[in-house]
Amino acid sequence: MKKGLKAPSSFKQEIMLKAGDKAPAFSLVADSGEKISLKDLKGKKVVLYFYPKDMTSGCTQEACDFRDSIKKFEKKNTVVIGVSPDDTKSHMKFKDKYELPFTLLSDESKKMLEDYGVWQEKSMYGRKYMGVVRTTFIIDEKGNIEKIFEKVKVPGHIAELLDTL
């Protein structure tokens, strides 16, 4: 699409990244207040999961499923990181309430969400809006995308991830 042209209302953005691509670099503030960058995670496999909003039913279930299986991910030398546009204060409450043992990154600017192609037009009850499409990336030890799970359905997702790892 040419620069300056507005996308038609039927335009559906898709994830342009694919397995084998270098994962887009990022440096975001975590729930702990520290900055986390992709380069800090080199040498470890990363499950990077994008979710719409803290404290909502589907996002809470997904986070708790990761929490309940965290030891299985750790045995596979895999770090789990959740990303949403919520601020760090919201992440801290979410993490504390559900005792989440992994990092949550705040992308209020939505730059990372856009870089990974998960900030897309959504529709609910006929209303169109921009939001996070639930997506998970497996990034290898060298920073390359190993696999992408698009439009994730929460039930069964953790088992699918663990089988892939």
| Active-site residue, 64 included | no
Annotated catalytic residue, options 59, 100, 145, 152: 59
Query: How far, CA to CA in Å, does 115 sit from each of 13, 19, 32, 42, 102?
Result: 12, 15, 23, 19, 22
Backbone angles phi, psi at 160, to 5 degrees: -60, -45
Encoding tokens for residue 4?
Answer: 């300056």
Residue type, 76: K
Among 145, 4, 158, 10, CA closest to 72: 158
Positions marked active-site:
59
